[in-house]
Amino acid sequence: MKVLASVGLAVGGILGMAGTFAPTAALRGVAWGIDGIALIMASALLMVVFLREGQDTIAAGFLVFAIGESLVVATAAMELTAAVPFFGAGTGVWAMALALISAPRFFPLAVRLLGMTASLLLAVTALQILAGARLTPTTTPLPFFAYPFLVATMAGWILTLLRRASTPSTRG
């Protein structure tokens, strides 16, 4: 399950970033749609993995991440400005999920710091949208510059999961 979840995280990270730079709305929608579905699958698997390992806070974080990603993926084919309310709600939920996943001392400190940074940037984005700002997923500086922190965090999760999956006592 850790390997399959890692594949989902990788697909999500790669296609999420690619969608941001897609030359057409149709290509962006496809990239973000597949990205979101992969991240939901990975998050669901990781919720089970961490629940089985007794890491309840991290498991809850991945459940919350899947919920946030569900809000965001629902807008993948929408016009960017029409999606703002859902995107704002999704980024707020992502921010909470990243904080839950990063708080326990499970992942390496660098990964946890990346996660907390992404959480903070996404929380600021969500608060701005909830206060009425019309920020789209491609608006700079935020949320545009939050994505590299999110993807770097996911890369850290992948490395940690794959290292632990290769250890006989932590297979999952």
pLDDT tens per residue, range 91-104: 999 999 999 999 99
Angle at 156 between CA 143 and CA 80, to 5 degrees: 25
Which domain does 94 fall in, by range? 2-170
The reported pLDDT for the residue numbered 169 is 54
Q: What pLDDT, in 10s, does the model give residues 150-172?
A: 999 999 999 999 998 877 654 44
Measured distance CA(30)–CA(118) in Å, rounded: 24
Which is nearest to 41 in space by CA: 73, 68, 76, 66? 66
Look at the pTM and tell me if it is higher than 0.85: yes
- Rounded to whole angstroms, what are the CA distances from 75 to 78, 84, 95, 101, 132? 5, 9, 18, 25, 18
The reported pLDDT for the residue numbered 17 is 95
Please measure the distance between the N-terminal and C-terminal CA atoms of the chain and give it in whole angstroms: 6
Measured distance CA(151)–CA(26) in Å, rounded: 22
Non-local (6+) Cβ contacts of 62 within 8 A are 43, 44, 46, 47, 50, 97, 101
pLDDT above 90 covers what percent of the chain?
95
Token readout for 122 is 């996404």
The reported pLDDT for the residue numbered 48 is 98
Domain count, the chain: 1
Low-confidence residues in the chain, pLDDT < 70: 168-172
The reported pLDDT for the residue numbered 166 is 78
The reported pLDDT for the residue numbered 27 is 97
Q: How many CB atoms lie within 10 A of CB 129?
A: 24
